[in-house]
Structure 1
Amino acid sequence: MIKTSLLLTALLFSALALADQSDFQQPLSVDSDTFFTDIQTSNLVYERNVIVQQGSLKILAEKLEIDGSAGKGAEIFIATGNPATYSQLMEDGSRVEAEAQEIRFERADRMLTMTGNAELRQSGSLVRGALMRYNIETQQLNAERGDDENGRVRTIFEPAQRQPQNNNQEENQQP
């Protein structure tokens, strides 16, 4: 069953566009109502109405902790909320959106780790799980169920929208 879920998830994302690479060339900004930093340890804490933005990449949270001890460009962002959200525009113009109680963004690896009621939506499809790891750059997703024996990874594929057929024969006749 786990192999089937992984296969379906792989199929879901295999034909999708990559993240807009120009996002990662943009400055990263953080806005919030309050801010605290410990300069010696390179740790920063933002609270209330936190907005992280880099190009079209956007994370919204109630609290954001940044571990900058690994250096510039290798920071680890831990966003929490009820839920915290992530969204980003893809190269093909579609949008990927995610939410979880905690979203960990490893800037150097462009990796999101979402825990607690995690959901990821793209191109009309949805994946839910207790824990998800999503590589923004390659769009590889790994989802796991929680410790709760009723918890499961769920993928929902939306049906394709069909174009109505024109049954009017006069419009289909050639002159």
Structure 2
Amino acid sequence: MGVMTSNALAKEGDLQQELKIAAVSQRADIKNNQIIFNGPVKITQGSININADELRAFSAENGQTKMLIAIGNPATFSQELDDGRIGTASANEIRYDLATTGLLLTGNAKLDQAGSKVTGNIIRYNITAQELIAESTGKGEDRVITIIQPENFQTEDVPKQKLPEIPLKKQGNQ
């Protein structure tokens, strides 16, 4: 049995909120159970925000939306973390599986949580479990890059040392 963190609980609250899609126009492809939204498109669900140039929403047989595919240059995702900071992600394509709460970021994928950054060709992130898998193509110089900020680097916690005062020599009369 896994231990739930307060982070996961905060995110769970977002996932129970309604999903709102604002777009310039939309058209339904009923045969393929999808709605295509033309942008700019803004999707909100609690503190989750997704911005895209185009969005495809796929529904299951019961009409429930099951998958969102946000396309952009880049498409962006953001969510408030439990400590009030904002976690952000961007990619050419963001797939948001509402059933599994999984994000699949493809093409120039970037994820930034509290200053720690991961970049790669593909990033998989589960919102509820907070699990992340990043992949590169492995070709040429393409690599997964991770930048982790030092945890105890807090400038305000470092006591300021007072420099000794150096008496200035007075210039003599000229």
**2:47 aligned partner:** 56
- CA 1:73–1:95: 2 relative to 1, 3 Å: farther
1:151 deviates by: 0.2
**2:7 aligned partner:** 17
**1:165 aligned partner:** 159
- CA 1:143–1:47: 2 relative to 1, 3 Å: same
Give the TM-score of the pair, scaled to structure 2.
Answer: 0.81
- CA 1:16–1:83: 2 relative to 1, 3 Å: farther
With 29-38 and 153-162 compared, the bigger mean Cα shift is at 153-162
Give the TM-score of the pair, scaled to structure 1.
Answer: 0.81
What amino acid is the match of 1:99? S
Cα deviations by residue, 1:100-150 (Å, 9 ceiling, x for unpaired): 000000001000000000000011110000001000011100000125321
Q: Superposed, which structure 2 residues align to 1:119-130 within 5 Å? A: 119-130=110-121
Identity of aligned residues (%): 36
Question: What is the count of residue pairs matched by the alignment?
Answer: 155
What amino acid is the match of 1:102? E
**1:139 aligned partner:** 130
Say if 2:24 and 2:41, in contact at 8 Å, map to a contact too: yes
More contact order relative to length (CA 8 Å, sep ≥ 6)? 1
CA root-mean-square deviation: 2.1
Does 1:45 find its partner at 2:45?
no
**2:165 aligned partner:** none
Say if 1:73 and 1:107, in contact at 8 Å, map to a contact too: no
**1:151 aligned partner:** 142
1:42 deviates by: 2.0
Secondary structure of the structure 1 residue equivalent to 2:51: strand
Question: Structure 2: which 5+ runs fail to align?
Answer: 163-174
- CA 1:16–1:84: 2 relative to 1, 3 Å: farther
Question: Structure 1: which 5+ runs fail to align?
Answer: 1-14, 169-175
Larger Rg: 2
Cα distance between partner residues in 1 of 2:33 and 2:158:
58
